Amino acid sequence: GENVEQHPSTLSVQEGDSAVIKCTYSDSASNYFPWYKQELGKGPQLIIDIRSNVGEKKDQRIAVTLNKTAKHFSLHITETQPEDSAVYFCAASWDNFNKFYFGSGTKLNVKP
Amino acid sequence: DSGVTQTPKHLITATGQRVTLRCSPRSGDLSVYWYQQSLDQGLQFLIQYYNGEERAKGNILERFSAQQFPDLHSELNLSSLELGDSALYFCASSVDGRADTQYFGPGTRLTVL
């Protein structure tokens, strides 16, 4: 089955700096890569996603890049704010999107 | 608030016991997913139902079972509980059965003592 690895496990940045979280996947059939943000006491919330026919996608301060050849994708957050502090999960999916395989999560701490 | 509700929020029980977790999907959503989030294994997909029928299965143990009822709410039954079953259990729902449109509930925290 699919195996998704995520790094780093924790990331601490100063407010206003950029943060980058990286994931690698093993199954070349995976074709959908979402990113979720999980705030304390809440369920994961989709923040951005990318499909395998696209190399990069942006939404305001967040962006995701995908390198299909190398089988890795990354989340970029620019101009970080304290409210960006949360756990971020990447995931990979195939099989008509019915099953997601999640990375182990990155705890992002944005220091004011 | 995602619109997905889960009860109870917290559950404390003993090894060997059986518990039932409940999920109500967002209004109009036909599909329900169950996930387990533990410290050592991260977030894992357990099972999916669509309009009452099982659609996909992940790493769900034989001691666990689920069903989706005609009113579309779902229950996850965990039996012969072990210490390692302590985790957050999330339910998610989607309107069309595609996980890329799923919304997560707030979770049920299960502690097995």
Q: Could you report the per-residue pLDDT of B9-41, keeping only the tens digit for each?
A: 999 999 999 999 999 999 999 999 999 998 777
Chain A residue whose CA is closest to B3: A43
Q: pLDDT tens digits, residue range A32-69?
A: 999 999 998 889 999 999 998 889 999 999 999 999 99
What's the pLDDT at A76? 98
What torsion, rounded to 10 degrees, do the Cα atoms A73, A77, A82, A88 define? -10
How many angstroms separate the CA atoms of B68 and A59, rounded?
A: 35
Residue of A43, A98, A101 lying closest to B104 (CB–CB): A43
Contact A45 B104 (CB under 8 A): yes
Give me the mean pLDDT over the A73-96 stretch.
93
Contacts of B40 (CB under 8 A, 6+ apart): none
Q: Are B88 and B108 in contact (CB under 8 A)?
A: yes
Chain B residue whose CA is closest to A9: B42
Q: Could you say which DSSP state residue A78 is in?
A: -
- Give residue B101's pLDDT band: very low, low, confident or very high (50, 70, 90): confident
Q: Are A80 and A19 in contact (CB under 8 A)?
A: yes
Q: Could you say which DSSP state residue A3 is in?
A: -
Q: Could you say which DSSP state residue A42 is in?
A: S
Residue of A49, A89, A102 lying closest to B100 (CB–CB): A49
Chain A residue whose CA is closest to B94: A98
Contact B90 A43 (CB under 8 A): yes
Contact B58 A105 (CB under 8 A): no
What's the pLDDT at B41? 72
What's the pLDDT at A49? 94
pLDDT beyond 90 at A94: no
Percent of chain B with pLDDT over 70: 100
